[in-house]
Structures are given as C-alpha cells and as structure tokens.
Amino acid sequence: MDSLYVAWRYVTWNRGKTLVLIASITLVAFLPLALQTLLNESERQLRTRALDTPLLLGAAGSALDLVMSSLYFDDEVPARIDMRAPAVIDESGLAYPLPLYVRFMARGAPIVGTTLDYFDFRGLQLAQGRLFGLLGEAVIGAEVSMRLGIGVGDSLVSSPDNLFDIAGVYPLKMTVAGVLADSHSPDDRAVFVDVKTAWVIEGLGHGHQDLARTADSSVILRQDAGTVTANARLVQYTEITPENIDSFHFHGSAADYPLTALLVVPDDDKAAARLRGRFIDDSRYQLVRPNTVIDGLMESIFRIKQVIDAVIVIVAIATLLTIVLVFALSLRIRREELETIFRIGCSRMTTVRLLAAEILIIVTVSAVLCAGLLWLIHINSAALVQGLILR
C-alpha cells in the first residue's frame, strides 16, 4: 500500500511524463479496438441493408455503383434505366418493382424519387405529418430535419444540377409533408419525393401559364392551328401549389422517363432465382443481389483493415519500446533517489515494487481511459458509421 502511495506521489509530481505515457498507451490500445468496433458496425449496417434488399435492377455497368446509390444514396449516379423496366418486372409475375431515381440533392441531402410502397417495404415510420400526397411534396429523414432545422410545412429547395448550366433545370421548392422517425439507416439523411416530383426537378414535367389563353403575346414564339410554341420568356413555376398544380404536365412518352434503379421484391426464393436467370445474359440490365456485392466490398475493406492492423502492430511495438526506454532513462535519472531509498534501509525489492506500482498506475489509468473512449464509440457507432463511413 505504501509503495502505491509513494508511486502515486511520484507520478503526480512528474505530471508531464506521466501524461505522455498514459496518452501513448491509451492511443495504442484504443485505435485498433475503435477501428474494429466501427468496422463491425459498418459491416452490420451494410449487410443489414443489403440483406433487407433482395434484388436490384439497374443498367448494365458497375454493380457496386448501383448498390451504393440505391441502398446508401451515394453521390455516384449509376447509368440510367427507363420506365419500361418496371413493366418488365410486372410482366414476369414473379416480383414487384419499387422505382428509384436518386440523382438530385437538396441542401446536401440526396433526393430519393420513389413511390409510397418504399416506406412500407423499409418499414419506415413517420414522426410527424403524413406521406407525400401531391406533386412537389417531400418527406424528410430524421437527420435532415435535425440538421436543417425544418419540419412539416417548411420548404426545401432542390439544388441546381449544374451551377454553370444557366439554361438548366429550375430548382424546385418542395413542401415538407412529413418527417420520418429515426431509423439508423441511410433513410435518415434522405429527402423522399414521388418519382414524378423528381422528374419535375429534371425538367420532364413542368407547369406554366396557359399559352392558349395568355394575354402576354411576348412569350409566344409561334402559333399554328393546333399548336402554340413558347419562347424562353415563358416563366415556369418553381413551386407547386394548389393554385397551379393543374398546370403541371409531363412531356414525352412516360415509358422513356428515367430511373436509376428498381428495388425488386420477388414472391419467394424460387421466383428470385428464376428472375435472376432471365437477366443473366441481358445486355441492357443487370439484376444483382446486393448482399453478394456487399460481400465483395467487405472483402476489400478487410484486406485494407489487415494492412492497417499490421501498421498498428508496428506502431504498438515502437510505442512499447519507447515506454521501456522512458522507464530505463527514468531509472538512470532517478539513480541517486533509488540509492537514497536503499541507504535508508529499504530492500532492493521495495525499489522494484515502487517501479511496478508506478507502471500499474499508468496502465490502469490508460485502461480506464481507453474503456471510456471505446464505450463512447460503441454507443455512437451507428451514427459515426453513418456520418463517417457510409456518407
């Protein structure tokens, strides 16, 4: 007990040295354990989302881009498919499709164009308001609501597609109809709209004054018997309101409207296998199992982690050698002090006990600190993974 007291007095007197030693040991222990915790959590989240999504249909190309865009709303936009794809799935009679159009952003949050069936499929619950009902309405994730400080009845403007394209699509002011409850998934940081609203943002649908009845002839470029052609002066509505919603319409064939992916929900495993068989040699589409794609991604991540682990082992060895050196030098500096302890009648074992007590105190404090930090990481791992890794 006396040895611990004397050792405690020594480490508190030499604060600088003690703090450096505690910080070194804490970091060496904490880093690999924290990395492992975060990787485990990211793997859990990636796999859960992937396992919850039976099949994904997209344009032929990178399967990883398709999965990352459709499941985690990654910035990378995969090649597009069109509205003929849902009809292909419907006609198979083996599954039902959920359209996804993930291309635009609103104040840093991805805009996910989909249908109401998506909320049922993901089991998402509303914290406030209702699901989108009219064109131009949005439902926002819990994190978006918290980060931007907006709720039901507030507005959200879509970001321009390209800052340098002055003739590009107009930003659309969307009304928040509902806020989702926290789901600890990428849905928390997304803005959900009807896929038709996403097409309005794209410019495929729009609303404007009635050209057949306008008194402003300056907006008319040409007028034939049955056709009125407007010029660029015609102002399109940038917000959909009950007053102008009737003027919104879509141009072109609905079959040509774009999607980035289809979430395909087969009736059963047999239907999934039959459906996959149909798309094996398809040159336009790829039908992937997100779980398989994520397996490949995790293999790559774990290969990288093995390299990081090796680096950490080397750093740990270097740190331990440094600590041994610090203690060895410390013994040399403290030679006179230890000699005095011996001369006043203490045994050599007392000196050893004193040094052991000092090491015990430093290691114990480091262990407590490390455990505290790991606990913080553990309880915030879902949010940290969302914010740092799967963003």
Partner 1 sequence: MSVECHGRLFRISVIQWIVWGLLLCGCMSAVAADRLVVYSVNYPLAYFAERIGGGHVEVHFPAPAAVDPAFWMPDADTVAGYQGADLILLNGAGYAKWIERVSLPRRKLVDTSRGLAGSYITVTEGVTHQHGPDGDHAHAGTAFTTWLDFNQAAQQAGEIAAALSRQRPERAAAFNENLQRLQEELLQLDSRMQALAAAQPGLPLLASHPVYQYMARRYGLQLRSVTWEPEVQPDDSSWRELQSMLVRQASHWMLWEGNPRMETRKGLERLGVQTVLFRPAMNRPATGDFMTVMRANIEALTVAFDAPD
Per-residue exposure over 35-47, b if at least 16 CB sit within 10 Å of its own CB, e if not:
eebbbebbbebbe
Most distant CA pair in the chain: distance in Å? Answer: 118
Q: How far is the CB of 132 from partner 1 (least distance, A)?
A: 5
DSSP designation for 236: B
Choose one: 10-18, 70-78, 94-102, 365-373; the region binding partner 1 (CB under 8 A).
Answer: 94-102
21 is a site residue for partner 1 (CB under 8 A):
no
Candidates 45, 73, 295; CA nearest to 65 is: 73
Q: Which residue has the tokens 């003739």?
A: 167
CA 332 to CA 258: how far, in whole Å? 75
Which residue in 6, 27, 33, 131 binds partner 1 (CB under 8 A)? 131
Q: How far is the CB of 216 from partner 1 (least distance, A)?
A: 18
Give the three-state DSSP class for 74: coil
* Side chain identity at residue 11, one-letter code: V
Contacts of partner 1 in 245-264 (CB under 8 A): 245-246, 248-250
Which residue in 135, 174, 191, 201 binds partner 1 (CB under 8 A)? 135
* Dihedral class, residue 153 (left if φ above 0, else alpha if ψ from -120 to 50, else beta): left
94 is a site residue for partner 1 (CB under 8 A):
no
Q: How far is the CB of 201 from partner 1 (least distance, A)?
A: 15
Candidates 84, 67, 85; CA nearest to 76 is: 67
Choose one: 65-73, 103-111, 148-156, 242-250; the region binding partner 1 (CB under 8 A).
Answer: 242-250
Choose one: 32-40, 73-81, 128-136, 310-318; the region binding partner 1 (CB under 8 A).
Answer: 128-136
Q: How far is the CB of 135 from partner 1 (least distance, A)?
A: 5
Give the three-state DSSP class for 216: coil
Token pair belonging to 297: 């991604």
CA 82 to CA 276: how far, in whole Å? 19
Q: Which is nearer to partner 1, 8 or 250 (CB)?
A: 250
Q: How far is the CB of 139 from partner 1 (least distance, A)?
A: 10
Which residue in 194, 275, 288, 377 binds partner 1 (CB under 8 A)? 194
- Alpha-carbon distances, residue 226 vs 37, 211, 218, 232 (angstroms): 67, 12, 19, 20
Choose one: 100-108, 126-134, 256-264, 288-296; the region binding partner 1 (CB under 8 A).
Answer: 126-134
Which residue in 41, 65, 74, 137 binds partner 1 (CB under 8 A)? 137
Phi, psi of 253 (to 5 degrees): -80, 130
How many residues touch partner 1 (CB under 8 A)? 28
Q: Which is nearer to partner 1, 256 or 295 (CB)?
A: 256
Token pair belonging to 390: 């799967």
Contacts of partner 1 in 201-240 (CB under 8 A): 205, 210, 212-213, 226
Candidates 5, 44, 128; CA nearest to 301 is: 44
Q: How far is the CB of 149 from partner 1 (least distance, A)?
A: 24
Binding site for partner 1 (CB under 8 A): 86, 96, 98-99, 115-117, 120, 130-135, 137, 194, 196, 205, 210, 212-213, 226, 242, 245-246, 248-250
